[in-house]
Amino acid sequence: MAHIPDGVLSAPVLITGAVLSAGLISVAVKKLDSEKIPYAAVLAAAFFVSSLVSVPVGPTSVHLILNALMGILLGWTAIPAILVALLMQTLFFGHGGLLTLGVNTFNIAVPALIVGSVFRLLIDRNRSGNMFVLGCVAGGVSVSMTAAFIYLNLLLTGAEYQLSGKVILVSYLPLIIVEGIISGIILSFIVKVSPQLLQSGSKKAHHQPPKY
């Protein structure tokens, strides 16, 4: 359950999430990189589609999030991309809710931003390293952070949600493994066919044809 539905969280948690997400969006818009907009559209679509495939795990269900890849490839641009994808999921399929949009955006976008910043730096400094391993760790860490935020949201809402939060944390364990593997595979593929996508803003890439 990466999308917390309406009617669960308390008003203070909802308001705090909305305010924090609004602040993140305002900063992200100022830092928006026009060159990354096409990639943002593709990744937002992938995020949107992957969330539609849910796998039941005990009393809840989980689905791919891909926020580590979005953070690594898009940086701050990942935040509006995630917001748009979450809004579309809410409007078209009822995943999450309009009242929890701010909280859900925060839960997914902040791990994307943190993991993306850290692992982009590691990738820049270690181009000859094992990108599959880096991708696995990045994917696993970002999902773990999202799960921890969801647990914190529930815990701050009320002690009666503590057990539900723990169940959600446990249900995320298989997703952490799967998301890590998929992130590792995709990151390794990107390094082979289009490495310029991983270059930081301070190191503008010379556009090279993909290597097949």
Per residue in 96-122, pLDDT (tens digit) is 889 999 999 999 999 999 999 999 888
Q: What is the pTM of this model?
A: 0.85
CA-CA distance, 112 to 86, in Å (whole number)?
A: 14
Residue 189 has pLDDT above 60, yes or no: yes
Structure tokens, 160: 């009666």
Looking at the chain, the whole-number percentage of residues with pLDDT higher than 90 is: 42
Domains and CATH numbers, the chain: 11-198 (1.10.1760.20)
Please name the amino acid found at residue 145.
Answer: M
Quote the pLDDT of residue 144.
94
- Which pLDDT band holds residue 208 (cuts at 50, 70, 90)? very low
77 contact partners, CB below 8 Å, separation of at least 6: 28, 31, 32, 33, 36, 37, 39, 40
Quote the pLDDT of residue 209.
46
Please name the amino acid found at residue 122.
Answer: L
Looking at the chain, the whole-number percentage of residues with pLDDT higher than 70 is: 85
CA-CA distance, 200 to 121, in Å (whole number)?
A: 8
- Which pLDDT band holds residue 147 (cuts at 50, 70, 90)? very high
